[in-house]
């Protein structure tokens, strides 16, 4: 029983060595606007994802591009011997969660007040190697 647990632990360590995580907390953009941009790059190869974010008009794309570059740098720090050009990486998962809301009051007609919610979000990106099936398709398409 102990040998099985050790094997499983070693396998999980090897999987974690290949993945890299970057997170952005309390980003002052509404989660819905951030999710629209995050959906564009989910499951995409990193060079293509950087291109999509760089040429996107949304303000959220600038923040996500910086976060993706941070995740790539984290991967390079974990895998010192591996070359980024030789390893096909993709955005494995990207999650956008709601952060705290700042509640403000806006004056309204006839002495009333309307509540304004200034939303924020938390974004987490996980960069990992591309699955072998997709990797073969990308190589065939490049040739």
Structural domain total, the chain: 1
Task: State the residue range of the domain holding 34.
Answer: 19-142
Tell whether 10 is covered by a domain: no
Encode the chain (143 residues) as per-residue pLDDT tens digits: 578 888 888 888 877 777 899 999 999 999 999 999 999 999 999 999 999 999 999 999 999 999 999 999 999 998 887 888 888 899 999 999 999 999 999 999 999 999 999 999 999 999 998 887 666 666 666 66
- R_g of the chain computed on alpha carbons: 20
Tell whether 12 is covered by a domain: no
- Give me the DSSP letters along 105-125: EEE-GGG-EEEEEE--EEEEE
User: Both tokens of residue 59?
Assistant: 């303000």
Q: Give the position of tokens 């570059």.
A: 69
Tell whether 58 is covered by a domain: yes
Tell whether 23 is covered by a domain: yes
pTM of the model: 0.82
Residue 78's nearest CA partner among 13, 18, 123 is 18
Tell whether 1 is covered by a domain: no
Tell whether 13 is covered by a domain: no
Tell whether 121 is covered by a domain: yes
């Amino acid at each position: 029983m102990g040998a099985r647990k050790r094997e499983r632990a070693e396998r999980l360590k090897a999987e974690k060595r290949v993945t890299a995580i970057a997170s952005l907390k309390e980003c002052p953009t509404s989660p819905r606007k951030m999710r629209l941009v995050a959906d564009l790059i989910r499951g995409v190869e990193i060079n293509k994802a950087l291109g999509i974010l760089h040429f996107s008009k949304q303000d959220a794309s600038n923040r996500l591009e910086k976060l993706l570059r941070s995740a790539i740098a984290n991967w390079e720090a974990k895998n010192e011997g591996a070359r980024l050009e030789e390893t096909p990486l993709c955005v494995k998962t990207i999650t956008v969660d709601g952060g705290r809301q700042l509640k403000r009051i806006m004056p309204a007609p006839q002495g009333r007040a309307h509540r304004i919610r200034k939303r924020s979000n938390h974004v987490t990106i996980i960069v990992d190697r591309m699955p072998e099936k997709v990797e073969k398709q990308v190589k065939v398409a490049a040739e």
